[in-house]
């Protein structure tokens, strides 16, 4: 379909800005693996220190890129399916707020005034502009939801008995989750962090801040994931040459995300002392609930791929795997999606390990954790984002994809990199290798008393994976910007692949309306979170020992001459 110049421009900017920033995000990802492998024994390189780099890496890749993309992609989906455009003023105002917020936060990070990582846990303190910037980015991304709701209700009035298109349903659900979960982080920023960062309040309730953050933080991961799921359900079967196995399965999965995405954040706080065991158990059980829609997705998409493979001539039980268009440059989106799904099998399994209260004790805050999340957010999510960014830009600008054969191998190269990288991290994590630590200064520095040789192979493996990932990401940048710089050769259109459903079940009103789901969501949220927030408010904790960026050992223990960490462990062995 044809769309206005204004919408085209808006989508180009919303895709182009975060992809440009990704250059910084990727550079700092590679630097992480280099520091951690002990190849650098310094606290900074090229004027940027380890924690500053890690903050830039997390904020740009996991927050800025994902949020800008979700808004751009959702504009495209809503316009394409509802055949009407979003309001210009609202969309550009949302864009302006997101850009202003990003500039403010980027300044604070680059100036070294906000090395607080993407979770900005207190007592780490950032410059007020970092918090304000984050708040503006979020508020900017809220605005389109209200406009899309208006577009949707106009469409619904004209089509009262037609099923809401699955992609539209997914988009609205995603942004409702986003709106609800970000209310908590907005409260954390405006009421707790900003007054403290500005010196108006002297102290802060760290546990409450963490609990509010994780109310937002786990739902955030589904806000990242749902655009990819929308692509898997509504585009992948068609690209594979088949049909979506069941439309109803997709609807059920999406509504389950609405119920379970938010009330599970305490599973990030299993080790926090102030929250009682009952709440941890309850949210642990709900965490298994939030895996159900992903299991539904795994079976539905596998069945859709099997159908496609058989249609393409496959025989035998698993022969369909051999009849899918893995390397077709004209259907490169298939490559990005199948590669992401493959990684998500491992991302899902490691997530189930994290969700277990007992196993979590072993892996919490170890390198296992980035191993898990690089197979989720840097797996299906990142691949869907970069593949779709190239696709949307190329279609809407009428420019052909630059280096199409390279483009189709990028996702597989990325998969190889991530598998090696995450294997190193997961292996190291099981041996106690900590996350978020400049290992090159201590544990991976042979001259240091904390040197831990067990982590040499694990960090080297992660370094090898990191180099391959960097090559894949650099190739993506060449393809994306190469496409931007090439000449227009085709008609400029907004066109998305649309999968028909093999089982197109008749419309069931419960799965085509939001009210009962929103009410149930509210009830589960209150039951899961009221006691957690009460606990956190009542028990602020007695305060953590002080750490300095250059050492994983608390200051007091160092002053008292005590050894901690693996050295202490080894010395205490009989
Ligand atoms: Fe997670 C920590 C539990 C999913 C991201 N997670 C994190 C962190 C991040 C993150 C960033 O319970 C770290 C936060 C921090 O900085 O501290 N996670 C889960 C569970 C799931 C899960 C149960 N996580 C995700 C997704 C993420 C993500 C999705 C990003 C997008 N996670 C945890 C827990 C922690 C945690 C604890 C805290 C740990 C701690 O101690 O700090 C589930 O949603 C996973 C369900 C997924 C599945 C997989 C389904 C498989 C599919 C693929 C099918 C493939 C096909 C194709 C059909 C059940 C759909 C096959 C093709 C071939 C060619 C073979």
Is any ligand 1 atom within 6 A of the Cβ of residue 367?
Answer: no
| CA-closest residue to ligand 1 atom 62 | 342
Decide if 374 is catalytic: yes
* Sequence-ordered list of residues with C-beta below 8 angstroms from that of 530, at least 6 positions apart, any chain: none
Q: In the chain, which residues have pLDDT < 50? A: 567-574
CA of residue 108 relative to chain centroid, distance: 22
State which ligand 1 atom lies nearest to the alpha carbon of 117. 16
User: What is the pTM for the complete model shown?
Assistant: 0.95
* Sequence-ordered list of residues with C-beta below 8 angstroms from that of 557, at least 6 positions apart, any chain: 545, 563, 564
SS3 label, residue 85: coil
Decide if 405 is catalytic: no
Angle between helices 128-158 and 166-187 (to 10 degrees): 150
pLDDT in tens, 333-390: 999 999 999 999 999 999 999 999 999 999 999 999 999 999 999 999 999 999 999 9
Q: For residue 19, what are the CA distances in angstroms to 14, 331, 335, 387, 509?
A: 9, 22, 20, 12, 40
Catalytic entry in 50, 215, 320, 373: 373
Question: How far does the chain reach from its first CA to its final CA, in angstroms?
Answer: 73
Catalytic entry in 218, 251, 267, 268: 218
350 CA → ligand 1 middle, Å: 7
Is any ligand 1 atom within 6 A of the Cβ of residue 376?
Answer: yes
State which ligand 1 atom lies nearest to the alpha carbon of 270. 41
Give dist(CA 34, CA 37) in Å, integer.
Answer: 5
State which ligand 1 atom lies nearest to the alpha carbon of 291. 46
Is any ligand 1 atom within 6 A of the Cβ of residue 351?
Answer: yes
SS3 label, residue 218: helix
CA-nearest of 293, 295, 291, 303 to 246 is: 303
Q: For residue 185, what are the CA distances in angstroms to 97, 195, 209, 564?
A: 17, 14, 9, 34
Decide if 372 is catalytic: yes
For 131: left if phi > 0, alpha if psi spans -120 to 50, otherwise beta; the answer is alpha
Pairing of strands 48-49, 44-45: antiparallel
**What is the number of other CB atoms lying within 10 angstroms of the CB of residue 61?**
24
Strand partners, 49: 44
| CA-closest residue to ligand 1 atom 7 | 373
**pLDDT reported for residue 568:** 47
Is any ligand 1 atom within 6 A of the Cβ of residue 221?
Answer: yes
Is any ligand 1 atom within 6 A of the Cβ of residue 297?
Answer: yes
Give dist(CA 437, CA 550) in Å, integer.
Answer: 9
Give dist(CA 225, CA 385) in Å, integer.
Answer: 10
378 CA → ligand 1 middle, Å: 11
Decide if 448 is catalytic: no
Pairing of strands 48-49, 244-246: unpaired
Contacts 24+ apart (CB under 8 A), 318-322: none
290 CA → ligand 1 middle, Å: 10
Instruction: Produce one character per residue of 224-248: b if its CB has 16 or more CB atoms within 10 Å, e if not.
Output: bbbbbbbbbbbbbbbbbbbbbbbbb
| CA-closest residue to ligand 1 atom 42 | 268
345 CA → ligand 1 middle, Å: 9
SS3 label, residue 527: helix
**What is the number of other CB atoms lying within 10 angstroms of the CB of residue 121?**
12
**What is the number of other CB atoms lying within 10 angstroms of the CB of residue 496?**
22
* Sequence-ordered list of residues with C-beta below 8 angstroms from that of 245, at least 6 positions apart, any chain: 237, 300, 301, 303, 304, 307, 501, 502, 503
Give dist(CA 124, CA 109) in Å, integer.
Answer: 13
Decide if 503 is catalytic: no
Decide if 436 is catalytic: yes
Catalytic entry in 95, 222, 344, 393: 222
Tokens of 388: 């779709």
**pLDDT reported for residue 574:** 36
| CA-closest residue to ligand 1 atom 41 | 364
556 CA → ligand 1 middle, Å: 37
**pLDDT reported for residue 330:** 96
Give dist(CA 447, CA 500) in Å, integer.
Answer: 62
To test ligand 1's pocket by mutation, which of 220, 352, 354 has the most ligand atoms within 8 angstroms of CB? Answer: 354
Which helix (H) or strand (E) segment holds residue 496: the answer is: none
**CA-based diameter of the chain, in Å?**
77
Tokens of 265: 């954040």
**pLDDT reported for residue 552:** 87
Is any ligand 1 atom within 6 A of the Cβ of residue 341?
Answer: yes
């Amino acid at each position: 379909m044809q769309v206005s110049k204004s919408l085209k421009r808006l989508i180009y900017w919303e895709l182009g800005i975060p992809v440009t920033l990704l250059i910084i995000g990727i550079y700092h990802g590679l630097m992480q693996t280099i520091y951690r492998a002990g190849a650098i024994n310094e606290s900074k390189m090229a004027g940027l220190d380890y924690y500053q780099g890690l903050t830039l890496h997390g904020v740009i890749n996991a927050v800025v890129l994902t949020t800008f993309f979700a808004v751009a992609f959702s504009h495209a989906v809503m316009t394409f399916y509802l055949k009407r455009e979003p309001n210009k003023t609202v969309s550009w105002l949302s864009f302006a707020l997101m850009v202003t917020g990003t500039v403010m936060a980027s300044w604070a990070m680059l100036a070294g005034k906000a090395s607080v990582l993407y979770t900005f846990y207190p007592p780490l303190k950032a410059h007020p502009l970092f918090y304000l910037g984050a708040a503006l980015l979020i508020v900017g991304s809220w605005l389109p939801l209200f406009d899309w709701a208006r577009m949707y209700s106009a469409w619904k009035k004209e089509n009262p008995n037609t099923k809401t298109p699955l992609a539209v349903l997914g988009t609205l659900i995603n942004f409702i989750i986003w709106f609800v979960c970000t209310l908590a982080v907005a409260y954390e920023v405006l009421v707790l962090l900003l007054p403290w960062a500005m010196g108006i309040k002297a102290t802060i309730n760290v546990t409450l801040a963490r609990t509010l953050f994780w109310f937002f933080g786990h739902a955030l991961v589904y806000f990242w994931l749902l655009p990819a799921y929308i692509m898997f359900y509504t585009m992948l079967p068609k690209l594979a040459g088949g049909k979506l196995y069941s439309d109803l399965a997709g609807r059920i999965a999406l509504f389950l995300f609405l119920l379970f995405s938010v009330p599970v954040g305490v599973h990030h706080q299993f080790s926090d002392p102030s929250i009682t065991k009952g709440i941890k158990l309850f949210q642990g059980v709900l965490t298994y609930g939030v895996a159900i829609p992903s299991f539904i997705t795994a079976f539905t998409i596998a069945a859709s791929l099997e159908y496609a493979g058989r249609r393409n001539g496959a025989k035998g039980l698993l022969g369909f795997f051999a009849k899918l268009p893995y390397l077709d440059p004209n259907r490169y989106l298939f490559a990005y999606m199948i590669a992401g799904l493959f990684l998500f099998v491992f991302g899902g399994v490691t997530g189930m390990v994290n969700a277990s209260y007992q196993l979590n004790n072993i892996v919490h805050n170890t390198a296992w954790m980035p191993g898990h999340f690089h197979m989720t957010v840097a797996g299906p999510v990142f691949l869907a984002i970069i593949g779709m960014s190239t696709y949307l830009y190329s279609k809407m600008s009428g420019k052909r994809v630059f280096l199409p054969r390279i483009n189709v191998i990028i996702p597989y190269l990325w998969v190889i990199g991530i598998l090696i990288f995450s294997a190193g991290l997961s292996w190291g994590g099981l041996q106690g290798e900590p996350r978020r630590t400049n290992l090159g200064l201590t544990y991976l520095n042979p001259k240091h008393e904390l040197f831990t040789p067990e982590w040499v192979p694990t960090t080297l493996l992660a370094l090898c994976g990191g180099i391959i990932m960097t090559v894949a990401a650099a190739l993506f940048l060449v393809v994306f910007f190469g496409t931007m710089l090439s000449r227009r050769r085709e008609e400029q259109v907004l066109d998305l692949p649309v999968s028909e459903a093999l089982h197109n079940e008749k419309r069931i009103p419960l799965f085509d309306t939001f009210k009962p789901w929103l009410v149930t969501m509210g009830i589960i949220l209150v039951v899961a979170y009221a006691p957690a927030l009460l606990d956190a408010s009542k028990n602020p904790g007695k305060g953590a020992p002080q750490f300095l960026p250059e050492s994983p050992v608390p200051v007091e223990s160092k002053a008292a001459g005590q050894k901690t960490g693996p050295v202490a462990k080894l010395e205490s062995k009989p």
